[in-house]
């Protein structure tokens, strides 16, 4: 689904391009005086904001996250003293969310109907996903691949017992195992989504590999 | 002192079931704490996995599906489906997973070693011995992976049998315990003429309507239903879910938000799709919505 910047479209807030290099530089300084750490924290902040809006079922999560960052950037540029950037960002995000919900309430019914109608993706072929998954599993580092294979092998009905067994084998807590599997899955998913994005054509074909 | 939310709280938050005050506290927590945020991400993935395995209770399933659809994240479901079928515990797909995921990986690594060895042999004959042992190690690794596979398959089958029974009991208990906000109507036969349509009586309490139709004698692998006005305007199209009970036999059902159904005449168009073929018309069910 094509997304639109509804904030700027409705004229209630400046578009994302209003967030100039000076504002960005000031925001990065507030995040961390050290440039590479600041960049990492910026990415972390944006990711948290996107997820916050997604988990609150905002249909335009990325745009709302950018709008939040724009507002924080403007406040920083104006010289507002911010003691805790994370808490401040959350406060601004809540305001943006409230505005978004008010604005989109009237369109919610129509949007939901449109999305239900013609949404037949349940029967969409998984063939390109399998092709991409195979390619990406082969690209994945060995430890991550083996972990995922074991983790999802125990992903059925016996999940709890199976994962406990894996955690014991690796001398990890179940929580640490879950986080390791999650990170490995993130890498795999990013690769698969990228592959799907270029049309689901894997770069390496399984049949071309020589056998042992 | 930062608070640490439980898995249950995090899950309820992800499903939009946590009270607003607790949601806000949790959001403050994960904005400040990367570990908490990562836990949420991992749990969110697990929810999607449970969704594709059909392991979520109906109300959670509906909540998650709504969020994923409205926020344009349906690709995550397709990814989880692919992972579940390739790597998952379904016995029919385990062999595929083994041959397509584990063995090619190990083979590929072995091939890299073989290639490296071929070059090395020209320079250092002694490396041949190293390769031999390395290759043997890889073969041993393959054998161990297969052994692990077999033992997990066996254990999965045993646990699956007992857990299937427990899951069915729990599902029934949950259904009985929760007051449904959906009205259920069984539409019968192909009824013609404006005076004899099925009647769907709706009260304002119901958030949605579940329309059920009898299962077909010659079943299709999948069905879909389209709700249309008698004027032909499509309101909703979705997969029909099949279920069986002693009382009603096999039925197909579609859930329709009540807000879409204003009083009037509608048609539920049922279509089925054979394997690798196009949708075929099965039957039309006329019904009249009457508001209390």
ipTM of the complex, rounded to two decimals: 0.76
B174 has pLDDT over 70: no
Segment B56-71, tens digit of pLDDT:
888 899 989 888 888 8
pLDDT at residue A110 greater than cutoff 80: no
In this predicted structure, what is the pLDDT of residue A185? 92
Q: What is the 3-state secondary structure (H, E, C) of chain A?
A: CCCCCHHHHCCCCCCHHHCCHHHHHHHHHHHCCCHHHHHHHHHHHHHHHHHHHHHCCCCCHHHHHHHHHHHHHHHHHCCCCCCCHHHHHHHHHHHHHHHHHHHHHHHHHHHHHHHHCCCCHHHCCCHHHHHHHHHHHHHCCHHHHHHHHHHHHCCCCCHHHHHHHHHHHCCCCHHHHHHHHHHHHHHHHHHHHHHHHCCCCCCCCHHHCCCC
Cβ within 8 Å, pair B152-A137: no
Q: What is the pLDDT of residue A87?
A: 94
A205 falls in which pLDDT band (50, 70, 90)? very low
Q: What is the widest separation between alpha-carbon atoms in chain A? A: 65
pLDDT band of residue B107 (cuts 50, 70, 90) is low
pLDDT of residue B113: 59
Q: What is the structure's pLDDT at B128?
A: 55
Interchain contact, A3 vs B108, CB within 8 Å: no
Q: Residue A48's closest chain B neighbor by CA? A: B31
- Which residue of A42, A49, A149 to mutate against B (max B Cβ within 10 Å)? A149
Q: Could you tell me if B94 and B149 are in contact, meaning their C-beta atoms sit under 8 angstroms apart?
A: yes
Average pLDDT over residues B276-285: 81
Question: Residue B41's pLDDT band (boundaries 50, 70, 90)?
Answer: very high
Distance from the Cα of B248 to chain A's closest Cα (Å) equals 26
Confidence of residue B34 (pLDDT cuts 50, 70, 90): very high
Look at residue B64 in the predicted model and tell me its pLDDT: 92
Q: Which of B16-20, B98-102, B126-130 is predicted least confidently? A: B98-102
Rounded-to-integer distance, Cα A19 and Cα A28, Å: 13
Provide the 8-state DSSP code for B72: T
Residue B103 — very low, low, confident or very high, per pLDDT cuts 50/70/90? very low
- Whether pLDDT at A112 is above 70: no
A155/B152 touch (CB, cutoff 8 Å), yes or no: no
Helix (H, G, I), strand (E, B) or coil at B100: helix
**Nearest CA-CA partner of B181 in B262, B63, B47, B13:** B63
* B269 touches B238 (CB < 8 A): no
Residue B105 has pLDDT above 80, yes or no: no
Highest mean pLDDT out of A187-201, B16-30, B207-221: B16-30
Specify the pLDDT at position B169.
62
Q: Is the pLDDT of residue A23 over 60?
A: yes
pLDDT at B163: 67
The residue in chain B having the minimum alpha-carbon distance to the alpha carbon of residue A148 is B87
Q: Considering only the beta carbons, identify the residue of B16, B79, B108 that sits closest to A209.
A: B108
pLDDT of A4 higher than 80: no
Across B118-263, where does the E strand assignment appear? 182-186, 198-202, 208-214, 222-229, 234-239, 241-245, 249-257
Query: Of residues B152 and A69, which shows the higher confidence score?
Result: A69
Return the pLDDT at B4: 67
A69 Cβ neighbours under 8 A, 6+ residues apart = A19, A27, A45, A46, A49
Rounded percentage of chain A residues whose pLDDT exceeds 90: 29
pTM of the predicted protein model: 0.54
CB contact under 8 A, B28 and A90: yes
How close B7 comes to chain A (CA, Å)?
A: 10
Query: Which residue of chain B has the CA closest to A3?
Result: B72
Q: Which residue has the higher pLDDT, B89 or B249?
A: B249
Residue B49 has pLDDT above 70, yes or no: yes
For B85, the closest chain A residue by CA position comes to A130
Cβ separation B238–A116 shorter than 8 A: yes
pLDDT score for B177: 53
State the pLDDT at residue B186. 84
For residues A54-62, give the mean pLDDT: 89
Lowest mean pLDDT of B87-96, B147-156, B228-237, name the range: B87-96
More confident position, B180 or B151: B151
pLDDT at B19 over 90: yes
Average pLDDT over residues A34-57: 93
Stretch B195-204: mean pLDDT: 80
When pLDDT is cut at 50, 70 and 90, the band that residue B233 belongs to is confident
Residue A108 has pLDDT above 60, yes or no: no
Chain B residues near residue A84 by CB distance under 8 angstroms: 32
Which is higher by pLDDT, B185 or A114?
A: B185
Nearest CB to A1 within list B72, B76, B100:
B72
Q: How far is A30 from chain B (nearest CA, A)?
A: 15
- Specify the higher pLDDT residue, A185 or B239: A185
Mean pLDDT of B230-247: 78
Single out the residue of B234, B268, B231 nearest to residue B251, CA to CA: B268
Least confident of A14-28, B94-108, B136-150: B94-108
Structure confidence at residue A96 (pLDDT)? 94
B169, B170, B171, B177 alpha-carbon torsion, rounded to 10°:
110
Judging contacts by C-beta atoms under 8 Å, the chain A residues touching residue B167 are: 157
With 0-12 / 13-18 / 19 or more C-beta atoms within 10 angstroms meaning exposed / middle / buried, residue B67 is: buried
Q: What is the pLDDT of residues B200-212, one digit of tens each?
A: 888 888 888 888 8
Do A157 and B108 count as a contact with CB atoms less than 8 A apart?
no
Cβ–Cβ < 8 Å for B224, A120 = yes
Residue-level pLDDT at A105: 63
pLDDT of residue A204: 44
Q: Which residue has the higher pLDDT, B169 or A186?
A: A186
Residues of B in contact with A44 (CB under 8 A): 34
Check pLDDT > 80 for residue A212.
no
Angle at which helices A127-139 and B103-123 pack, to 10 degrees?
40
Contacts (Cβ under 8 Å, ≥6 apart) of B152: A153, A154, A162, B89
Averaged pLDDT for residues B31-50: 93
Cβ within 8 Å, pair A150-B100: no
Taking the CA of residue B124 and the nearest CA in chain A, the distance in Å comes to 23
Contacts of A211 in chain B (CB under 8 A): 107
Q: Which residues of A fall within a CB distance of 8 Å from B67?
A: 54-55, 57
Cβ–Cβ below 8 Å for B88 and A155: yes
């Amino acid at each position: 689904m094509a997304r639109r910047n509804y904030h700027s479209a409705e004229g209630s807030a400046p578009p994302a391009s209003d967030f100039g290099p000076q504002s960005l530089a000031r925001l990065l300084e507030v995040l961390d005086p050290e440039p590479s750490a600041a960049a990492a924290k910026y990415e972390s902040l944006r990711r948290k904001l996107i997820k916050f809006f997604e988990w609150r079922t905002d249909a335009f999560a990325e745009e709302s996250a950018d709008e939040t960052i724009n507002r924080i950037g403007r406040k920083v540029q104006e010289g507002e003293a911010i003691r805790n950037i994370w808490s401040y960002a959350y406060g601004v995000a809540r305001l943006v969310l409230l505005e978004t919900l008010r604005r989109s309430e009237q369109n919610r019914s129509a949007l939901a109907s449109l999305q239900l109608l013609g949404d037949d993706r349940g029967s969409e072929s998984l063939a390109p996903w399998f092709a991409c998954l195979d390619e990406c599993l082969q690209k994945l580092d060995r430890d991550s691949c083996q972990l995922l294979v074991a983790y999802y092998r125990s992903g059925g009905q016996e999940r709890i017992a199976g994962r406990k067994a894996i955690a014991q084998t690796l001398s990890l807590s179940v929580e640490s195992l879950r986080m390791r599997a999650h990170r490995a899955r993130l890498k795999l998913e990013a690769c698969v989504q990228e592959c799907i994005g270029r049309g689901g054509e894997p770069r390496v074909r399984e049949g071309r590999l020589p056998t042992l | 002192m930062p608070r640490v939310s439980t898995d249950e709280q995090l899950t309820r938050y992800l499903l939009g079931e946590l009270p607003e005050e607790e949601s806000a506290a949790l959001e403050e927590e994960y904005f400040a704490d990367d570990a908490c945020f990562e836990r949420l991400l991992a749990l969110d993935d697990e929810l999607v996995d449970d969704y594709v395995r059909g392991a979520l209770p109906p109300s959670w399933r509906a909540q998650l599906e709504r969020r994923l659809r409205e926020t344009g994240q349906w690709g995550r479901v397709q990814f989880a489906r692919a992972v579940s079928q390739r790597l998952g515990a379904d016995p029919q797909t385990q062999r595929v997973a083994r041959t397509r995921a584990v063995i090619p990986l190990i083979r590929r690594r072995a091939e890299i070693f073989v290639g490296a060895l071929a070059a090395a042999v020209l320079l250092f004959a002694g490396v041949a011995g190293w390769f031999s042992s390395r290759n043997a190690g890889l073969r041993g690794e393959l054998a161990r992976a297969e052994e692990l596979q077999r033992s997990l398959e066996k254990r999965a089958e045993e646990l699956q049998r007992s857990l299937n029974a427990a899951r069915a009991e729990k599902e029934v208990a949950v259904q009985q315990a929760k007051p449904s906000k959906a009205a259920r109507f069984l539409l019968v036969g192909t009824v013609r003429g404006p005076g004899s349509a099925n009647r769907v009586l709706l009260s304002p309490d119901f958030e949605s309507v579940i329309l059920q139709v009898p299962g077909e004698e010659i079943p299709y692998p999948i069905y879909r239903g389209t709700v249309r006005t008698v004027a032909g305007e499509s309101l909703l199209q979705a997969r029909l879910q099949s279920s069986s009970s002693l009382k009603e036999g096999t039925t197909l059902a579609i859930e329709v938000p009540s807000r879409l159904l204003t009083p009037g005449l509608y048609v539920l168009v049922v279509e089925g799709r054979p394997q690798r073929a196009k949708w075929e018309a099965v039957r039309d069910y006329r019904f009249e919505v009457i508001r209390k």
